Amino acid sequence: MAKMLTAHGRHLGRCVVQLSSPSQQTAGLGRGVAMCRLHSSPVWCSTFDVKSDDYQYIHKSKIPTMHFQKSLLRLPIPALDKTCERYLRSQKVILSSEEYQRTEKFVTQFKEGIGATLQFQLKDIDKANKHTSYICGPWFDMYLSDRVPVVLNYNPFLAFHPEERPGLSDPVIRVTNTLVSSLRFMRSLRDSVLEPVVYHLNPAKSDTPMFRKIVRWTPSAISSYAAYAQKAFPLDMSQFGNMFNSTRIPKLGKDVLRTYPKARHMLIMKNGHFYVFDVLDKDGNILSPEHIHACVSYIYNDQTPPAKRSIAIFTTENRDTWAKCRDELVEAGNEAALDVLDAAAFNIVFDEAILGDDPIKTYHTFLHGDGNNRWFDKSFSLICTADSQLALNFEHGWGDGVAVMNYFTEITKDLANRPSINSDSRPAPIDASKLVRRLEFTLTPSLEAAIDKAHQSYEANTSALKCDVLEPQFFGKKLCKKNKLSPDALMQLGLQAAYYLQNGETVPTYESCSTAAFKHGRTETVRPATLETQAFCKAITQAQLPSHSELKKLMMECSKMHGNLTKEAAMGQGFDRHLFALRKLAEASGSPMPDIFTDPAYAKINHIIISTSTLPSDEIGFGGFAPVVRNGLGVGYHIRDDHLAFGVSTYPPHRDGPGFVECATKAYQIIQDVLTKE
């Protein structure tokens, strides 16, 4: 299992970046479309039977979607002494000798005193709540109680590759096809025929019809164990229930997540306006692609001028500020319209930006935009630009990378194999104006003033954010594996070396790791800044660069340590979530906080300067997120077979993004020279 999670666990705690743009041409478009030879250019003719399972579902799994959920292993609570040991190991690399000695003293006192009591309490609570994990509740509370705006602080984006097939790249066509594929995914999930998310350690042996037949007939209470026996590892899917018809509602002190499972409509935004229309019939069937095409086309071509003041900007605000404004919106008679907006399956945004091949403009458009034409509280939004670039921006409180990436991957495959319409398709001959409703909101003078103020704050916050890019180059996975070194370890080593070359120090660094192999697992933190990476950084900054063999030895030590840390995190044996849970118990007790948590070193290690994340998926074209602290770096990266790349976000003058990219170029060149030295 540890080996499985080393490969699968590094996920979108935030997101990934891929700056190359490989064509996604396909030789055949599969079911649902027929290639017509009556014209010189390809023409697609819809052949869907809209009542058929082939149209209604993205696929029909033989294994019920939640079949493994009941029997998933529970997230373990690490031994207290191991957590203390791991915590000190990570602290040692960022503290002075004097600071470390003080922290070591506090940790020892904690381990031998109040920490043991808190550990006992945590285990008691865990035993009484076997339906979940010890971290699930506190982690939801952390997201929903934070009062900072979700945009820039939590919501990341993932961009799809450009649509390069003829007849499919028009914004209306692309949005319609993506909407239909998304609805297939949603219906498959609702009807429990979406394939369970399973990591196959040896796909040739376990990702087979026989495996599915065996586990299908295995009782759900033990089905995960049947999968484990075949080296297949089901992942937690509890978050999937908040993916559709779901939204985050602002409340004073703590937000709530609300779902509307019976809702049948879709939300599309354009020019700050909100449009809704049904996409399912009364029996829950997806309406025809021609019907959906007609509604999407009507919205896209609607000539209503941009909203002078859109309530969308409220979702960019401080959460308490937004909660007060929402209450005022309700008092002004807008409750019904807000409910319709909140209940929609998800959100699609038509954005007027033209991105071309500009990664910086892409980054800013998909991460935040102008705030007037987004609804950041929705579980997720698909944003389509005027030149048909498409990305997903999602609210992080409800879920992590496993759910989002499963959706992203499945609809990408569906779109590649069976798009529903093309440029020769015609919308259904219906009066879409009677099917689409534009939501209207009554604004009081104080709400208008609040909107204006929110725009000023948003402009100040987003204009301060900068993005820089390391274009695809250097080495990739193949060369790393040839040298028996972890690709992710070397990617992280390059980031550590870049920061050290630029600033001459080692700082707290975060890499997200999924714990979805466990029931209600969320994420754990890998701490890539280690004594081993620090030794490498010091070596390459010497006046005389060490020999390639000496550097290779240091790189091997870094790779080994990074692998161990990743395995620990994936198996629920990191220290961050455990200490977080113990701290929440200490806070709830009303007693003075233990010294370990008031120690400046605890605040320091949790002030993440280098926040990083990746997803090992070729389906993603580009992605990013903002730094988690003002003087930090937000690094979304990928490493493919033959190259690596990343995007880095900063808030100048606190950080120098171009300088970091320049130092990373030097660092990766040094690593590549070592890897290519025979």
List active site positions.
396
Query: How do strand 518-519 and strand 73-74 relate by DSSP bridges?
Result: parallel
DSSP, residue by residue, 79-92: PHHHHHHHHHHHHH
CB 316 within 8 A of CB 371: yes
C-alpha dist (Å) from residue 169 to 43, 388, 392: 13, 6, 17
Query: How do strand 198-200 and strand 523-526 relate by DSSP bridges?
Result: unpaired
CA distance 611 to 628: 7
| First-last CA distance in the chain | 34
Q: Which helix (H) or strand (E) holds 159?
A: strand 157-160
CA distance 280 to 51: 12
Q: Which of 255, 149, 253, 134 is CA-nearest to residue 584?
A: 134
What residue type is assigned to position 304 of the chain?
Answer: T
Kindly report each contact of residues 216-225 with a partner whose C-beta sits within 8 Å and lies 24 or more positions away, as own/partner. Answer: 216/62, 216/63, 216/64, 216/67, 220/64, 220/66, 220/67, 220/68, 220/69, 220/70, 220/71, 221/70, 221/71, 222/71, 223/67, 223/68, 223/70, 223/71, 224/68, 224/71, 224/72, 224/73, 225/71
Tokens 């995914």 belong to residue: 185
CA distance 404 to 503: 35
Q: Which of 79, 114, 6, 87 is CA-nearest to residue 575?
A: 87
CA distance 531 to 24: 42
CA distance 587 to 605: 19
Burial of 379 (0-12, 13-18, 19+ CB in 10 A): buried
The 3-state DSSP composition of the chain as helix, strand, coil percent (nearest 5) reads 45, 15, 40
Angle between helices 445-463 and 319-329 (to 10 degrees): 150
CB 469 within 8 A of CB 661: yes
Instruction: Output the six-digit token pair for 269.
Output: 């935004």
Instruction: Output the six-digit token pair for 353.
Output: 């930006």
CA distance 364 to 351: 12
CB 494 within 8 A of CB 668: yes
DSSP, residue by residue, 172-226: HHHHHHHHHHHHHHHHHHHTT-SPP-EEESSHHHHSSHHHHHHHHTS-TTTHHHH
C-alpha dist (Å) from residue 207 to 211, 306, 515, 519, 617: 7, 50, 21, 22, 19
| Phi-psi group of 635: left, alpha or beta (phi > 0 → left; psi -120 to 50 → alpha; rest → beta) | beta
Q: Which of 113, 13, 4, 66 is CA-nearest to residue 576?
A: 13
- Length of the chain (residues): 678
